[in-house]
Amino acid sequence: MRTHQSTDEATSVERLERSFYDLNDVYRKHREYIKTKYRINALEMEIIQLIVLDGKKKMKEIGDYFNIKLSTLTSIIDKIERQKLVKRVNGKHDRRVVYLEVSKKGEKLYADYSRYLHVVSQLMRRSLASEQFDAFVTGLEKMSEIVKPSS
């Protein structure tokens, strides 16, 4: 009995590992979709998303969040600022402090991307039975919790 359970567990772990490889492929294709459709890379989209969802941010806050050196982040921000997706704004109380805000063009781009994610989510919802969908979402939430680095 123990051997059977161990075999089942090993098979389940192998299935999960294969699923991680498949998920990586899905994410790679998603990054390609972002690059093709929006002409920015996935990290640039994530930066825009962070600012849209959390509000204006200092460069240091963005660098810390994504674990990116300020020099590297500066060139990334320069690029999306040239595309008029974000703008640098001086602080009201301390003009030396520079915040990043999403421009109207950046808001429109993110709104379109958000609609795309909603369509994909709806497709997932319709392709699974209610219990399967709930288990899927719960599993993703748990996976995010497990692999998220501790602060």
- Report pLDDT digits (tens) over 98-113: 899 999 999 999 999 9
Residue 109 lies in a domain: yes
Residue 105 lies in a domain: yes
- Residue 134 confidence (pLDDT) above 80: yes
Residue 120 lies in a domain: yes
- Residue 73 confidence (pLDDT) above 80: yes
Question: Would you state the pLDDT for residue 119?
Answer: 96
Residue 28 lies in a domain: no
- Residue 115 confidence (pLDDT) above 80: yes
d(CA 113, CA 16): 29
Q: What are phi and psi of 83, to 5 degrees?
A: -80, 0
Q: How many domains does the chain have?
A: 1
CATH number of residue 65's parent domain: 1.10.10.10
Domain span including residue 119: 39-147
Whole-prediction pTM: 0.83
What is the rounded average pLDDT for all residues in the chain? 92
Question: Would you state the pLDDT for residue 86?
Answer: 98
Residue 7 lies in a domain: no
